[in-house]
Amino acid sequence: MRALRANERLLMICGSTVLVMAGQGVVAPVLPLFAKDFGVSTAAIGMTLAMFGLARLVLNVPMGYVADRYGRRLLLVGGPILSAIGMIGSGWAPDFWVLLGWRFVAGAGSAAYMTGAQIYLIDISVPANRARYVAVNQGALLIGVSLGPGLGGLVAEVAGLRAPFFVVGVASGIAALYSWLRLPETRGTLEADDAHPHPVGDRATAPAGDNAPATASVSRGRQAWRFAMSRNFVAVGLVTMAIFTVRTGHQATLMPLLATERFELGPAGIGVIFVLSGLVGLVLIGPAAWIADTYGRKQAIVPTGLFAAAGMVVVAAAPTVALLVLGSMIMAVGSGVAGPAPAAYVADIAPVELRGVAMGMYRTSGDLGFLVAPPVVGWLADATSIGTAMVVNAAFVAAASIWFLVAATEPRRAGAGAAAVRSA
């Protein structure tokens, strides 16, 4: 019965995630084109994504504190409401600067929902099935991301570039209602195998003696700072940042512009490529999560990062639409599939009493990439070329993956055998 209840909660959070991410995916193929209509540079176009990322960057950790103190439902319901307001405002924006402001509001909603959702998943999982739980929700995310761009491109072709933003507002409102009705609170109901923090390989992060009574004498802020500065968290944070630069710098900013300039593809054609990329990630996410739970997090994280970098290089050099699509598929193997393992890794090494804060820090590391990548790669594209900017981005992703291989320690996951039986 316990396993059944956990699976029910997993399916409920996945249903909400599909709605939220389908909404965000709707604007993906049209946002750069919409911003370009205001007559701004490529670097400025990147700012429309950067403002979204800035809101998430500054709010992820505070949202983690909110989840730890007031519960997960506040974020799971309030986040989509904020997203709806921000997206509808974006659709009505009369100029570029107003658009940036509404993008910040939408990013605040994303910070609330995604932080709450990840903490919720960690609450209902145990170490031996954690990557698979995260993967199921990541699959829901990819379903939303895969369906959204195709719908967004179609809506834009029929009703104009502003219309997709209003579609997102409706989807986010439905997600808020769904979360209110279907997602029970999990704060204070941690699984038994997580009732006591597990020692991990990085002794600076979670020494066996520091995760029990000794931590009572250490302030929460000091404990959080020590966790953030540990070798393992810095390594996983860097690789997470790199993954986000693939999604926002390469895929969401540069790829639509390259497809338009080099091959004269419109929103519908770009949306199809987004859909295909999402489907690749969706098919492979299950096997990747199984690898992470069975053989360790590093065996999933490092190869997928290198795949993402290779795909970006192929896209940058693509002389034909077929190679552009192929490169996007290779990139999707990395950027889409890598999602479950880093989140599971952070949950493995985090003290239980800092679970919300740790997941907020993890999301912040990704959102640093979300924030910095679009304007930086946009500036590089203006100064050199779109292809060159893509190659530089790929080099950063490869370097982060190699550093994680060298620096990070695979955590010891206590209780794996029993949890594996329950998750079968």
What pLDDT does residue 13 have? Answer: 84
Mean pLDDT of successive 10-residue segments in the chain (424 residues)?
63 82 76 80 76 84 87 91 92 89 90 88 82 80 74 83 86 88 75 43 39 49 86 94 87 88 86 81 79 86 90 94 92 74 88 81 84 86 92 95 92 48 34
What pLDDT does residue 395 have? Answer: 96
Would you say how long the chain is, in residues?
A: 424
CATH of the domain at 121: 1.20.1250.20
| Residue 379 covered by a domain | yes
| Residue 60 covered by a domain | yes
| Residue 58 covered by a domain | yes
User: What range does the domain containing 400 cover?
Assistant: 2-185+200-207+218-418
In terms of C-beta density within 10 A (0-12 exposed, 13-18 middle, 19 or more buried), how is residue 52 classed?
A: buried
- The residues near 39 (Cβ < 8 Å, ≥ 6 apart) are none
How many domains are contained in the chain? 1
Q: Which of 10, 29, 70 is nearest to 278 (CA)?
A: 29
Whole-model pTM? 0.71
Find out whether 113 and 64 touch, Cβ atoms under 8 Å: no
Rounded Cα distance between 77 and 72, Å, is: 9
| Residue 407 covered by a domain | yes
| Residue 154 covered by a domain | yes
| Residue 332 covered by a domain | yes
Q: If DSSP states are collapsed to H, E and C, what string results for 165-229?
A: HHHHHHHHHHHHHHHHHHCCCCCCCCCHHHCCCCCCCCCCCCCHHHCCHHHHHCCHHHHHHHHHH
| Residue 191 covered by a domain | no
* Gyration radius of the chain's alpha carbons: 20
Find out whether 55 and 104 touch, Cβ atoms under 8 Å: yes
Helical H segments across 246-354, by residue range:
255-263, 267-295, 298-317, 321-335, 340-349
| Residue 194 covered by a domain | no
What pLDDT does residue 424 have? Answer: 32
- The residues near 313 (Cβ < 8 Å, ≥ 6 apart) are 327, 390, 391, 394
What pLDDT does residue 336 have? Answer: 61
